[in-house]
Chains A and B, each alone.
Chain A
Amino acid sequence: MTQPAPAAEAAAHKTAPADGGSPWRATLARADVRTLSLLGVLAALILIGGVTQPDSFLDTDNLQLILTQASVIGVVTVGMTFVIISGGIDLSVGAIVALASVWATTVATQEYGFAGILFTAVVVGMGCGLVNGLLIAYGGMVPFIATLAMLASGRGLALQITDGKTQMVTVDGVLRLGERDSYVLGIPPLVLVFAAVTVVGWLLLNRTTFGRRSVAVGGNAEAARLAGIDVRRQRLYLYLLSGLCCGIAAFLLIVLAGSGQNTNGNLYELDAIAAAIIGGTLLSGGRGTIVGSVLGVLIFTTITNIFALNNLETATQQIAKGAIIVAAVLVQRRTANNH
């Protein structure tokens, strides 16, 4: 195959280029039904939002809010997607977000200013990921159990640090990031971070040896081992990556809330897993896409928003989420069987 000139703009439009062998055409063909149906669901939701609350839903403020809310859980979901693709699971993401956010907002940390908060959040996240990874890859623990233990102790440690109190952020630089003045072309910085993490995640999964190895380990760990891949080291890196994403998410949450709390990130593990699953990631590993997961996050966040605007109860909203998960998985089974 020849590498065509980067006619990306032209090809990105709906008309496929004339030459049949173009990689773009192949990509379009492979942009599977799943991604398209997720986009369809999202479009339907936007339609519902626009119809039920024509004034408030499509308002710029509201769209900014949806994207901002999606950012925190979205960053966590990108890391989770990698872990699930590799055949693992990370139940500790919510706890890591909580721990990183409170550790990064202690009085002592805040003395080091913006850099101190960011650095601490990321390092704490990666530290927890490292422990997870070591226990799973080299300690031979089942991911479910190792990360469940991390969930329990992470939450406990977060509570111990804060003593249950909300730690207000006093560093101006951090607070300013959440304010309207910092928006770039109307886009909140948090959303830009989310977008960057998504792009990096996509590249990492689809264009690097790291991504290939993750898929190989999840698709068939024994085959990967016999093909000469260091499966254990790969697993370690994957949990480290998930921890890093949690650290970034914790920082975003600090910006968003202007504080650190030990109750932060509650049930993030479930939201992230659910988003990845409806995005088409196989829970058994070996297949998944970043785009699907991100669409999953956006769908969930939009539902939450529409329910809130229409003054519906949280209970109804959760039932709807559950129904969507079931429907998505059933549809995927259908399409998988037809292959």
Chain B
Amino acid sequence: MAPEPPLLTMSGITKSFPGVRALDGVDLQVQAGEVHCLLGQNGAGKSTLIKVLAGAHQPDGGEITWRGERTALKSPIAAMRLGVATIYQELDLVEHLSVAENVHLGHEPTTAGFVVRARDAKASTAALLKRLGHGEIDPGRLVGELSAAQQQIVSMARALSHEVRLIVMDEPSAALDPDEVDNLFRIVGDLTADGVAVVYISHRLEEIRRIGDRVTVLKDGRAVAGGLPAKDTPTKDLVALMTGRNLEYVFPDRPTGPPAAEPVLTVRGLTRHGEFEPLDLDLRPGEIVGLAGLVGSGRSEILETIYGARKASAGQVSVGGETLRPGSVRAAVRAGLGLAPEERKAQALLMLESVTRNVSVSTMSRFSRGGWVDRGAELRAARAATRELSLRPDQPHVPVRTLSGGNQQKAVLARWLLRGCRVLLLDEPTRGVDVGARAELYAVIRRLADDGLAVLLVSSEVPEVLGLADRVLVLREGRVVHRAPARDLDEHRVLDLVLEGSPAS
């Protein structure tokens, strides 16, 4: 294989956006038939790099060589013609079109150039889906009716409907359950066996170990290491390359004393038909309780139902002994609940607004008299809250959209800190947060609990639940299958429970 030129060589790629140098001379070399993993923290430049590769961004400098010839990827169509297909994290499907229409969007099989041969499109789509191990998806169904995992398969079928030599997959496993991940890996194996190269982006090291051939590590817009062997580069080396540190997670110490006796949050028989079964839960001040489970196990639904954002079918939620009106967020907030939702940007933040206004939005009545906002008092209080959480930069007027993921999350937490809430519901608090910033966020959450808050934590990362929570409830298909102190569990045990659901407790 030695004389064969690499399929793709990118060298010295630079790309700047106003105020940011996203890529600062990145080199990447991909061989045909390999799985080349891209590792790096958020903001390291992975997304920008793959957008350059997909023709969606034009680089400011650098060279791209494709099969030994210099080329320019001037547009997504140009990249597609060369044989580069990209499966983005946010799926780019049209919900109101059928599976087959989506797969062939932009290159429909036609007669006389414009009459779509729908039957051919369906047949070839069915063949592609079968090849992907999902023959059960009907090409005629609307994409909007499919599950997230199935939509991903459709997205992949679309990539394969072209003549591809290189597929870029951006965190393809993020929305998948373990058995679906296995199927994904089988597909990746089939593709590489056919000589197709896969550029695979994932945060999960264990995945990279399983399917990767080589790894390129990005940090601050540069490739700090290229072409490392994926199977046997030590984890600590990879983490060190990504972060400049040697530890991935640092969890704060748990308090030694027992939590307060009286629960602040009491949940009795809380149910939502089709989402989760009757749930009982007591949460005491100073305590962090974790909900562990897979996507679709009802974790987020439970949190949102407690919060009143979804209306319970049965059961009740009380805070400090007072029962909340079901389905009313306002009642929950007034009683002292606060939610940091899973989709921070879509569900929590006013992206165009300043940090201060994002923090004060739930507490405005406190700074106002007769509807008149005392902006001085607002600023002082919001700033006290953001400083307490070490939110950076310490500039209350900057738009919240300019903050990093970790600091955006702190803005959400500051909102509830300012409100003086008693129970904090955290849904995937570290999603989209840099590895380095996580430890700080964990420390913040623990400190809030030490100050007397009760915290209910949902996370799809088992080590996070085990490391941060005092007690853990393991969920499977909407049912609590196990309850135990976090120190009595380990990652394997929890994974066994969420997968097998062996009855316990």
Contact = CB atoms under 8 A, between A and B. Distances in A.
Interface of A: 1, 3, 26, 207-210, 212-213, 215-216, 219-220, 222-230, 286-287, 337-339
Contacts of B329: 225-226, 228
Given A207-B373, A220-B346, A222-B347, A212 B361 contact: yes
A209 B373 contact: yes
Interface in B50-82: none
Interface string B349-387: 111110001000110110010011101100100000000
A223 B18 contact: no
A230 B308 CA distance: 13
B415 interface: yes
Contacts of B309: 225-226
Q: Nearest 6 A-B pairs (CB), nearest first?
A: A228-B333, A219-B350, A209-B364, A227-B362, A208-B371, A227-B361
Given A212-B357, A222-B346, A228-B330, A1 B351 contact: no
Nearest to B332: A228
A219 B350 CA distance: 6
A306 B349 CA distance: 45
Given A208-B368, A228-B329, A338-B18, A26 B362 contact: no
Given A26-B397, A207-B372, A226-B329, A286 B352 contact: yes
Contact of B415 (A1, A220, A224, A227): A227
B352 A216 contact: no
Contacts of B347: 220, 222-223, 226
Nearest to A228: B333
A3 B332 CA distance: 35
Contacts of A216: 350, 353, 361
A220 B379 contact: no
A209 B365 CA distance: 7
B348 A208 contact: no
Given A26-B397, A227-B415, A228-B333, A208 B349 contact: no
26 contacts: A26-B397, A207-B373, A208-B371, A208-B372, A209-B365, A209-B371, A210-B371, A212-B364, A215-B353, A216-B353, A219-B350, A219-B351, A219-B352, A220-B347, A220-B351, A222-B346, A223-B349, A225-B309, A226-B307, A226-B347, A227-B362, A228-B332, A228-B333, A228-B334, A287-B352, A337-B18
Given A208-B368, A209-B373, A339-B18, A223 B330 contact: no
B473 interface: no
B373 A226 contact: no
A219 B339 CA distance: 19
Contacts of A287: 352
Nearest to B367: A209
A224 B357 CA distance: 12
Contacts of A230: 330
Nearest to A30: B397
Contact of A215 (B332, B346, B350): B350
Contacts of B379: 1
Given A212-B364, A216-B361, A287-B352, A223 B376 contact: no
Contacts of B357: 212, 215
A200 to B, nearest CB: 12
Nearest to B343: A222
Given A216-B350, A220-B351, A227-B348, 12 more contacts: A209-B365, A212-B361, A215-B353, A224-B350, A225-B309, A226-B329, A226-B341, A226-B348, A227-B415, A228-B332, A228-B362, A287-B352
A171 to B, nearest CB: 35
B347 to A, nearest CB: 5
Interface of B: 18, 307, 309, 329-330, 332-334, 339, 341, 346-353, 357, 361-362, 364-365, 368, 371-373, 375-376, 379, 397, 415
A196 B442 CA distance: 51
B129 to A, nearest CB: 33
B373 A208 contact: yes
A186 B351 CA distance: 45
Provide the main secondary structure of the chain B interface: mixed
A320 B375 CA distance: 41
Contacts of A222: 346-347
Contact of B350 (A225, A228, A286): A286
B189 to A, nearest CB: 40
A284 to B, nearest CB: 10
A213 B373 CA distance: 12
Nearest to A2: B376
Contacts of B364: 209, 212-213
Contacts of B376: 1, 3
A219 B348 CA distance: 11
A229 B350 CA distance: 13
A212 B373 contact: yes
A209 B353 contact: no
Contacts of A229: 361-362
Contacts of A209: 364-365, 368, 371, 373
Nearest to A213: B364
Nearest to A233: B330
Given A209-B365, A226-B339, A229-B361, A219 B18 contact: no
A220 B373 contact: no
Contacts of A227: 333, 348, 361-362, 415
A220 to B, nearest CB: 5
B408 to A, nearest CB: 12
Residue of B307, B341, B361 with most partner-chain A CB within 10 A: B361
Contacts of A225: 309, 329
Contacts of A286: 350, 352-353
Contacts of B372: 207-208
Nearest to A212: B364
Contacts of A337: 18
Contacts of B350: 215-216, 219-220, 223-224, 286
A76 to B, nearest CB: 23
Contacts of A226: 307, 309, 329, 339, 341, 347-348
Nearest to B419: A228
B384 to A, nearest CB: 13
Residue of B330, B349, B350, B352 with most partner-chain A CB within 10 A: B350
Nearest to B357: A212
B339 A223 contact: no
A228 B330 CA distance: 5
B98 to A, nearest CB: 26
Contacts of B341: 226
Contacts of A26: 397
Contacts of A220: 346-347, 349-351
Nearest to A208: B371
A224 B329 CA distance: 11
Contacts of B307: 226
Nearest to B350: A219
